[in-house]
Amino acid sequence: MSYITQEATDHIFSLIKDDDSTEILWSCFVSEAKHFIINSWDKFPKNDACRAYWLRFYHNQVAKLGCVANTGYDNWFTIQKLVNSITNQSTVPLQTIPSSASMPASASMPPPPKSCSLKSVTTSSSNSATSSSKSKLGTLLSNQNRQIALDLYNQMEDTNKWKLTSGRFVEDVMHSVLLSQPFEHPSQYCILDIDDDNWIDIFTPEERREITLAIPPIELPSMPSDMVNFLIDIPDTEDLTVIYNHLENTPLDYNSQNHLLWLKHSIQNAIELIDQKYLPITTQQEEDICFSVWKFVNDAFRCSKLTAKQQISSTASKEAVCKKRKIAMTEPIQRQKHALVPDISILYGSQTYAIIEAAKTENDTKQLVEIFKKCPEFMSEILNQLIKENPTEQREIKVYASVLSKATCCCLMLSNPFGYVKVVSRSKKLAHPEVKDAFKPDMCTLLDHFWGFKLAIEAVVDSLSKSKYENSPFKQK
């Protein structure tokens, strides 16, 4: 007896079979076929018999396709969990769930979870060219890293978790997804970005609304009045020569007006880029864009006690990597893994407080990965280290990042306001002016944003420094 139609079978295996690999994962088959597995549950005397049937079915189909079965990660427990959930919430027998036989042909297969498609996933057998391009499209979560993440969640206590009005804990929802997700995702570090569309079908609309309202917004400080007045005094014209000459004829003191010099040079540099046809951006390289178009961002930190360093691994990342190693005893010492390296690190002393990531493209896969995966993971390591050193300030610490994508930018903020969850906040996207139209208002808005970005990071440093004094056992009474 078959519990699944051939049409549905073909559809499932078309989703989970990677054209560049001969392997087909059992875990992805279970995730995609769970609707049919649950419908067949009561046809078997016990759990093991049901699993044996579907495992045999999976092996047969893999063999027909001339592929190799990979049962390295077994997520069958997710089926048991779903069955228990249905049984506990309803007295209706499992058989009453619509089966493929009773459903119309067009509805014989429920919409598959987005996370289980293995199309374009990097595999060990892929050639280097394919691997380089595909690695951005999804990295398989190894059993070791999954276990590390599960251990993190298993240590969490209910009394300290973030409880929603629905009664569910945010951490528990994220934990349940981690049990079966095939790919690496920030949720393995307990990072929640509610703007990530993966959460749409996992949290209810009401829960997502509650989470969204609870996430702290990014509120960057404003420029001081003398900087605002300096920008107001610039002529309101689209004639860039007039603006450039006005700035050139405005004398400023190098020692006392360094911040105004930053405004002046930033605007003049942008005008030169437009005049020299460097803007709009076309085929320029990532590094050129970062240190030509966005040079003023790096320069802002020259007027600060903070420093901006190019492509150095943060102490937080180094510490997180080395923490997982041990000296040789029953096993040889593990090789040192490379720490994460952002494009620009914002430091005070040797401690990283913020990062900047740059890309030469926008609205593509690279930008998606930078904003939703890479940056939050960088920021999480920084936040972990700051919390470790300043535990009393856990709910107040904020880690900032800026993603520069071609001629646009977006500010991110990571914080831990509730429970164990690190939430991502984001600002609206801003654009660097590429033409003379509306040059002044667009450029001034951008300068105000990045000066506020700098001030916000300085405020975090000052707050943590003040906290150390207040909590020091050597504080004067």
Q: Which stretches of the chain drop beneath a pLDDT of 50?
A: 90-136, 313-314, 316-317, 321, 336-339
Q: What is the pLDDT of residue 90?
A: 47
pLDDT of residue 334: 55
10 Å Cβ neighbour count for 120? 17
pLDDT of residue 44: 87
Predicted TM-score of the model (pTM) = 0.68
pLDDT for the residue numbered 417: 94
pLDDT value of residue 3: 87
Give residue 108's pLDDT: 32
- Cα separation values, 137 from 99, 120, 175, 368, Å: 33, 7, 23, 10
Residue 123: per-residue pLDDT: 33
pLDDT at 311: 65
